[in-house]
């Protein structure tokens, strides 16, 4: 009879383990969603789409170093790495319930008993009890709840890795933009200084003509105002240059004023990169990949919530060694094997509400995914349109500048001949100077639009990044003391990659 019970128990256990390997609430796979995205861009290119480290196409070694420093030291990137480490630990925790738990147990008990002597005897007895053993437990994943929670945690971790990639891409583009803005301010300053020299030359000429009674005092006053106006334009440019340097220092994780960059000409605009097709954004944009992983994680959360409404079974076992004396603890032993089934009967609709909540999360993340895909497509389209029309705009501006210079030349000639007063000359001079500044701004905008296109297209170069922000010596009191005593001897341990 006992043999029959043992076989029956073994059969039941095998059936339960087989059932636990089955996940009736596993979410349905989601095929690649086109979401109505057009098959191609307005400016289509069939060239290969992998951009790599696109900022290197600007051929400026200092800029390359600044971008690399920003990717490693920027606060947003370091925060993203810290969140990734949190999610990595959370994913490990979510998988822990897939394995049995084994704990060590040890107890010591001292009890005393006796009587007060009313029955003819008086005294007390002391008893010691020592126990040492192991306790194991394991929850059978009958409905796939634990598997679903583990899958959701793993997907959250992978999504957090994409957040790191997205932060790195954003920082790379922002560093390049700040560098371009700094060079723009310096170019504006150089143009203003050249214009100031020109205006002062004009002023000297007009004052000379005034002394010879060939021009009026009004001509002198108007040109003096123009000189003063040009001088007034230089301080705001210098201020903007410093502000952009401060912003660049912040992007690099440095305090304001801790960095300077060399003056350089605007880089030549590289050829338009290969665009591929819009659906490539699903695999090339880290924010789109993250939104897709968040959606899958929500699907698994629904599976876990549904499975949690069903009964659960837990197996537990204990093996104990016990004795009244510690020296003889190995003389006696006891083993127990138990199983328990727990199932909800009434919980005030708590578990049902959780299922509804997680399904609403799926709906929310589905909309977020679609919004992210459409935003990515829009950003590429916007950058293409801006760059296309900016080329034409710059060309038209340069034509306008040539016409303004001819106008200035003719107005100056007529003024020197006494055929016109100074106002047409002044108007033409101001027009030329304004156009020179505007064209410099337009050329910087064109490069900025290209940077935006690179950022919008995404890429896979961020997959090679390793966590360089995990080191925080200030978090270790010992390291702090060592750094305070001998900062030059502080060593930096190697960083574990993801």
How large a percentage of the chain has pLDDT more than 90? 49
Q: Which residue has the higher pLDDT, 359 or 125?
A: 359
Question: Taking 70 as the threshold, does the pLDDT of residue 414 lie above it?
Answer: yes
Q: What is the mean pLDDT of residues 403-407?
A: 95
Q: Specify the pLDDT at position 32.
A: 63
In a domain, 239, yes or no: yes
Q: Specify the pLDDT at position 186.
A: 96
Task: Please state, rounded to an integer, the average pLDDT across all residues of the chain.
Answer: 83
pLDDT interval class at 14 (50, 70, 90): very low
Q: Specify the pLDDT at position 494.
A: 34
pLDDT interval class at 275 (50, 70, 90): confident
In a domain, 412, yes or no: yes
Question: Taking 60 as the threshold, does the pLDDT of residue 490 lie above it?
Answer: no
Question: Taking 80 as the threshold, does the pLDDT of residue 117 lie above it?
Answer: no
Q: What is the mean pLDDT of residues 344-364?
A: 88
pLDDT interval class at 213 (50, 70, 90): confident
Q: Which residue has the higher pLDDT, 125 or 487?
A: 125
In a domain, 498, yes or no: no
**155-169, 259-273, 278-292, 479-493: the lowest-pLDDT one:** 479-493
Q: In what order do the strands lie in the sheet with 122-140?
A: 101-116, 122-140, 312-323, 333-342
Q: Specify the pLDDT at position 486.
A: 39
Q: Specify the pLDDT at position 45.
A: 64
Q: Specify the pLDDT at position 455.
A: 94
Closest to 291 measured CA to CA, from 399, 158, 133: 158
In a domain, 495, yes or no: no
In a domain, 493, yes or no: no
- pTM score of the predicted model: 0.81
Q: Specify the pLDDT at position 493.
A: 34
In a domain, 53, yes or no: yes
Closest to 206 measured CA to CA, from 190, 226, 179: 226
pLDDT interval class at 481 (50, 70, 90): very low
In a domain, 435, yes or no: yes
In a domain, 56, yes or no: yes
d(CA 255, CA 50): 34
Q: What is the mean pLDDT of residues 357-381?
A: 91
Q: What is the pLDDT of residues 167-199, one digit of tens each?
A: 999 999 999 999 999 999 999 999 999 999 999
Kindly state the tokens that stand for 137: 């437990």
Tell me the backbone φ, ψ of residue 486, rounded to 5 degrees. Answer: -135, 75
Question: Taking 50 as the threshold, does the pLDDT of residue 492 lie above it?
Answer: no
How large a percentage of the chain has pLDDT more than 70? 82
Question: Taking 70 as the threshold, does the pLDDT of residue 316 lie above it?
Answer: yes
Structural contact between residues 97 and 149, judged by C-beta atoms closer than 8 angstroms: yes
- 269: domain CATH number is 1.20.1600.10
Report for 105-114, 200-209, 482-491: range of highest mean pLDDT:
200-209
The total number of structural domains that make up the chain: 1
The boundaries of the domain holding residue 60 are 42-99+155-310+355-464
Q: What is the pLDDT of residues 418-466, one digit of tens each?
A: 888 889 999 999 999 999 999 999 999 999 999 999 999 998 898 888 8
Angle at alpha carbon of residue 361, lines to 359 and 366, rounded to 5°: 100
């Amino acid at each position: 009879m006992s043999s029959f019970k043992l076989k029956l128990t073994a059969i039941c256990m095998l059936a339960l383990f087989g059932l636990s390997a089955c996940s009736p609430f596993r979410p349905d796979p989601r095929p690649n969603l086109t979401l109505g995205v057009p098959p191609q861009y307005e400016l289509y290119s069939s060239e290969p789409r992998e951009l790599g480290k696109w900022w290197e196409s600007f051929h400026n070694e200092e800029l390359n170093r600044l971008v690399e420093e920003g990717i490693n030291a920027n606060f947003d990137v370091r925060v993203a790495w810290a969140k990734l480490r949190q999610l990595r630990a959370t994913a490990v925790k979510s998988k822990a319930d897939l394995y049995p738990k084994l704990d060590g147990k040890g107890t010591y008990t001292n009890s005393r008993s006796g009587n007060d002597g009313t029955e003819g005897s008086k005294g007390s007895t002391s008893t010691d009890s020592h126990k040492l053993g192991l306790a194991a437990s394991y929850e059978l994943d009958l409905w796939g709840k634990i598997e679903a929670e583990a899958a959701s945690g793993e997907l959250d971790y992978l999504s957090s890795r994409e957040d790191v990639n997205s932060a790195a891409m954003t920082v790379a583009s922002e560093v390049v933009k700040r560098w371009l803005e700094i060079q723009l301010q310096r170019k504006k300053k150089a143009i203003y200084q050249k214009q100031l020299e020109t205006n002062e030359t004009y002023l000297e000429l007009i004052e000379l003509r005034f002394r010879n009674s060939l021009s009026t005092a009004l001509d002198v006053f108007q040109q003096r105002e123009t000189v003063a106006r040009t001088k007034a334009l230089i301080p705001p440019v210098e201020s903007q240059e410093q502000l952009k340097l401060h912003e660049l220092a912040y992007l690099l994780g440095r305090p304001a004023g801790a960095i300077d960059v060399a003056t350089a000409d605007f880089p030549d605009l590289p050829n338009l990169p290969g665009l591929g097709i819009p659906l490539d954004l699903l695999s090339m944009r880290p924010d789109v990949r993250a939104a897709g992983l968040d959606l899958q994680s929500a699907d698994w959360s629904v599976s876990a919530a549904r499975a949690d409404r069903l009964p659960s079974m837990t197996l537990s076992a204990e093996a104990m060694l016990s004795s009244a004396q510690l020296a003889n603890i190995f003389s006696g032993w006891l083993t127990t094997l138990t199983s328990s089934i727990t199932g909800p009967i009434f919980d005030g609709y708590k578990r049902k509400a959780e299922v509804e909540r997680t399904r609403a999360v799926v709906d929310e993340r589905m909309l977020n995914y679609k919004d992210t895909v459409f935003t990515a497509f829009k950003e590429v389209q916007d950058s293409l349109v801006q760059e296309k029309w900016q080329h034409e705009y710059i060309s038209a501006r340069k034509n306008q500048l040539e016409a303004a210079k001819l106008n200035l030349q003719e107005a100056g000639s007529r003024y020197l001949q006494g055929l016109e007063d100074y106002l047409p000359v002044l108007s033409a001079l101001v027009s030329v100077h304004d156009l020179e500044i505007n064209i410099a701004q337009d050329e910087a905008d064109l490069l900025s639009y290209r940077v935006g296109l690179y950022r919008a297209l995404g890429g896979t170069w961020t997959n090679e990044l390793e966590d360089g922000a995990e080191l925080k010596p200030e978090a270790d009191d010992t390291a702090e003391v060592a750094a305070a005593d001998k900062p030059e001897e502080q060593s930096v341990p190697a960083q574990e990659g993801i």
